[in-house]
């Protein structure tokens, strides 16, 4: 299966005009070093090779049956079920994974492939003769590379924690590296993102949409500071982002379609296209008559959505257990297929509830491709939203709550709830909530607003709630599925066995010794 490769700019570009060709021409990553990195066009081509790594199946593309990729990482917690026996998250959740687990190896390799390309690009861009590259454009290119390198290290920090910190292009003789501490990696990520934010533009022309911006760098930094509990810095960073012109898309249900890919809500996305050659992503595909054959919403996730009156379903008089989608938060209908829902419109094909959880994944899934003449099971052209403005508002709301600035939280949550068609917090809960009560609302809002976007494990890990998430998943009537919380082994990935075998200086993470 082929994936879209990030595409390059035409050789005729004389300035930093990263045209739409970025999504239409192959990124040539195999050119001889001696003939490359001579001018600005070479630099543009080189950084597109770094963006390309984001489209790996274990990064943001996923694969057809939904067993790999960051879009599927909700399955490492309690939002989705994925029990694919070979590579799926179920191996990790049920305690079958060990350091030879294919997913660990694929994810690690993809991250370091991106880091290696970034290191190579930085070294060579710095050495391009001044007469061959515009100075301002050079700074922007370097800013993009630093952002991308920080994004790869962000995932290493969250999932593997201690890992080698490689900042220069390596020869084979230099490959026997040791691990850096989490603190060292954290400091590096923070520095990279601050330096990137200082030089990246606020926006690009529409034809250049998808390159890293100042908002992207600040947004990723805010996410990382939230992960590390640096709440006042999150408040500061989100305040800056809120001044950059982002806004919520008016229709939540339509946001996760190709028509909304350049919405002012999108802070950073990984871009894809679909064509007759089956280029593109696979997280939006359908397979074997099921919206997503191995990724399914868990019953506890469905029950987490409030009733339309803003009350939990256990308290709302509007909730009907015989019709679980009626009178519910509209985001539920936009995100989950229920039995009988039409999920392939051009075939008028209903979802039969033929999954282990009886629910189907709807968010991002293509439901109508008949006018394109493209198989709905083939790779698609839906961009994946890595950071969006709703998340920025929720990060700010959480940081303010943790900091005790409670009155400022209500309008942030209300923006998101009203967009979804839900009542405001004060209309349902009043304005005198305790810090704990308000934090619970923020956590719930993150869960339903960002459902199936790959952030659930990130959230429950930083909240210290992985064990509780496993318990919720285990309590669901889904079989055969037996989540087993194994302490730190359920919270940190193992360094791949193949890496340990190849490098005698590399030591396994303590949880996996």
462 within some domain:
no
- 317 and 221 in a common domain: no
Tokens of 325: 């989608």
Which pLDDT does position 172 carry in this prediction? 79
Which pLDDT does position 29 carry in this prediction? 45
**Per-residue pLDDT at 222 exceeds 90:** yes
What φ, ψ does residue 281 adopt, rounded to 5°? -95, 170
Secondary structure element (H or E) that encloses residue 393, with its range: helix 389-402
Beta carbons of 332 and 268 less than 8 angstroms apart: no
* Packed helices 182-199 and 135-155: angle between N→C axes, nearest 10 degrees: 150
176 within some domain:
yes
d(CA 92, CA 476): 18
| Mean pLDDT within 257-274 | 94
**Per-residue pLDDT at 306 exceeds 70:** yes
**Per-residue pLDDT at 469 exceeds 90:** yes
21 within some domain:
no
Q: Which of 390, 339, 367, 364 lies closest to 453 in space, CA to CA?
A: 364
Which pLDDT does position 282 carry in this prediction? 77
SS3 225: helix
d(CA 386, CA 257): 14
d(CA 499, CA 494): 10
- 194 and 215 in a common domain: no
- 219 and 313 in a common domain: no
160 within some domain:
yes
d(CA 323, CA 341): 13
Beta carbons of 128 and 40 less than 8 angstroms apart: yes
- 504 and 440 in a common domain: no
Beta carbons of 47 and 165 less than 8 angstroms apart: no
Q: Which of 123, 114, 156 lies closest to 142 in space, CA to CA?
A: 123
Where does residue 353 rank: exposed (0-12), middle (13-18), buried (19+ CB within 10 A)? middle
| Mean pLDDT within 345-355 | 81
**Per-residue pLDDT at 23 exceeds 50:** no
- 157 and 107 in a common domain: yes
279 within some domain:
no
- The pLDDT-based confidence of 62 (bands split at 50, 70, 90) is confident
**Per-residue pLDDT at 179 exceeds 80:** yes
| Mean pLDDT within 475-485 | 92
Tokens of 383: 């961009």
Query: Among the listed ranges 48-62, 300-314, 320-334, 384-398, which one has the minimum average pLDDT value?
Result: 48-62
| Mean pLDDT within 168-192 | 93
Which pLDDT does position 219 carry in this prediction? 99
CATH number at residue 135: 1.25.40.390
Which pLDDT does position 495 carry in this prediction? 98
d(CA 219, CA 197): 10
359 within some domain:
yes
State the total domains in the chain: 3
pTM: 0.92
- 247 and 218 in a common domain: yes
Which among 401, 420, 451 is the end of a domain?
Answer: 451
- 250 and 114 in a common domain: no
Return all residues near 421 (Cβ < 8 A) that are at least 6 apart. 308, 329, 330
Mean pLDDT of the chain: 89
Q: Which residues of 185-286 form beta strands (DSSP E)?
A: 266-270
Secondary structure element (H or E) that encloses residue 296, with its range: strand 296-297
Percentages helix, strand, coil for the chain, rounded to the nearest 5?
Answer: 50, 5, 45
10 within some domain:
no
Residue range(s) defining the domain that contains residue 294:
286-382
Which pLDDT does position 5 carry in this prediction? 37
Beta carbons of 357 and 296 less than 8 angstroms apart: yes
- The pLDDT-based confidence of 4 (bands split at 50, 70, 90) is very low
Beta carbons of 216 and 203 less than 8 angstroms apart: no
Q: Which of 513, 463, 409 lies closest to 226 in space, CA to CA?
A: 463
Which pLDDT does position 16 carry in this prediction? 37
Q: Which of 275, 363, 287 lies closest to 64 in space, CA to CA?
A: 287
| Mean pLDDT within 309-322 | 98
- The pLDDT-based confidence of 8 (bands split at 50, 70, 90) is very low
- The pLDDT-based confidence of 274 (bands split at 50, 70, 90) is confident
Biggest distance spanned by C-alpha atoms of the chain: 72
Query: How far is CA 275 from each of CA 57, 66, 135, 281, 399, rounded to the nearest angstrom?
Result: 18, 21, 37, 11, 42
- 58 and 189 in a common domain: yes
Which pLDDT does position 292 carry in this prediction? 65
**Each residue of 79-122: pLDDT tens digit?**
999 877 667 788 899 999 999 999 999 999 999 999 999 999 99
- 391 and 378 in a common domain: no
**Each residue of 402-424: pLDDT tens digit?**
999 999 999 999 999 999 999 99
Query: Among the listed ranges 232-246, 351-365, 399-413, 472-486, which one has the minimum average pLDDT value?
Result: 351-365
Beta carbons of 483 and 83 less than 8 angstroms apart: no
Q: How many CA atoms lie within 13 A of 219 on its CB side?
A: 28
17 within some domain:
no
Which pLDDT does position 69 carry in this prediction? 82
Q: Which of 293, 295, 279 lies closest to 378 in space, CA to CA?
A: 279
- The pLDDT-based confidence of 67 (bands split at 50, 70, 90) is low
User: 184 or 286: which carries more pLDDT confidence?
Assistant: 184
| Mean pLDDT within 35-61 | 93
Measured in Å, how far apart are the chain's first and last C-alpha atoms?
36
Which pLDDT does position 33 carry in this prediction? 60
Query: Among the listed ranges 8-17, 31-40, 245-254, which one has the minimum average pLDDT value?
Result: 8-17
| Mean pLDDT within 389-402 | 99
């Amino acid at each position: 299966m082929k994936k879209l490769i990030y595409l390059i700019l035409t050789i005729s570009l004389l300035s930093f005009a990263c045209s739409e060709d970025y999504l239409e021409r192959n990124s040539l990553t195999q050119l001889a070093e001696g003939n490359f990195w001579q001018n600005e066009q070479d630099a543009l081509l080189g950084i597109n090779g770094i963006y390309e790594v984001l489209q790996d199946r274990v990064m943001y593309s996923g694969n057809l049956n939904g067993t790999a990729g960051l879009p599927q990482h909700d399955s490492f917690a309690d939002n989705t079920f994925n029990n694919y026996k070979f590579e799926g998250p179920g191996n990790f959740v049920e305690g079958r994974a060990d350091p030879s687990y294919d997913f660990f190896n694929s994810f690690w390799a993809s991250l370091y492939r991106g880091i290696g390309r970034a290191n190579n690009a930085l070294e060579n861009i710095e050495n391009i003769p001044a007469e061959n590259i515009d100075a301002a454009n050079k700074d922007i290119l370097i800013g993009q590379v630093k952002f991308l390198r920080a994004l790869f290290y962000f995932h290493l920090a969250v999932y593997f924690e201690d890992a080698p910190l490689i900042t220069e292009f390596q020869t084979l003789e230099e490959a026997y590296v040791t691990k850096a501490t989490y603190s060292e990696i954290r400091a590096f990520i923070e520095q990279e993102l601050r330096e990137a934010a200082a030089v990246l533009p606020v926006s690009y022309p529409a034809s250049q949409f998808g390159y890293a911006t100042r908002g992207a760098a600040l947004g990723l930094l805010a996410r990382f500071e939230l992960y590390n509990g640096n709440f006042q810095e999150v408040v500061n960073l989100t305040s800056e982002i809120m001044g950059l012109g982002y806004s919520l898309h008016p229709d939540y249900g339509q946001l996760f379609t190709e028509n909304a890919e350049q919405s002012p809500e999108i802070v950073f996305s990984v871009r894809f296209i679909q064509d007759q050659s089956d280029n593109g992503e696979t997280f939006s595909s359908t397979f074997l008559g099921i919206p997503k054959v191995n990724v399914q919403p868990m019953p506890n996730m469905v029950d987490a959505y409030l009733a339309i009156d803003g009350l939990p379903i256990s308290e709302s008089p509007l909730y009907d257990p015989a019709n679980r989608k009626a009178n519910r938060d509209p985001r539920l209908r936009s995100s989950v297929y229920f039995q009988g829902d039409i999920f392939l419109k051009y075939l008028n094909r209903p979802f039969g509830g033929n999954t282990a959880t009886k629910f189907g994944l709807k968010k991002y899934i293509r439901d109508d491709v008949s006018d394109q003449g493209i198989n709905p099971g083939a790779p698609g052209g839906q961009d994946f939203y890595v950071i969006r403005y709703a998340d920025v508002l929720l990060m700010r709301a959480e940081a303010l709550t943790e900091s005790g600035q409670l009155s400022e939280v209500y309008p942030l949550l209300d923006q998101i709830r009203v967009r979804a068609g839900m009542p405001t917090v004060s209309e349902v809960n009043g304005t005198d909530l305790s810090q704990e009560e308000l934090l619970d609302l923020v956590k719930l809002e993150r869960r339903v607003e960002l459902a199936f976007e790959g952030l659930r494990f990130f959230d429950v890990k930083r909240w210290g709630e992985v064990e509780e998430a496993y318990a919720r998943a285990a309590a669901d009537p889904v079989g055969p599925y037996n989540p087993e919380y194994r302490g730190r082994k359920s919270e940190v990935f193992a360094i791949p066995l193949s890496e340990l075998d190849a490098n005698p200086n590399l030591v396994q993470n303590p949880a996996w010794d």
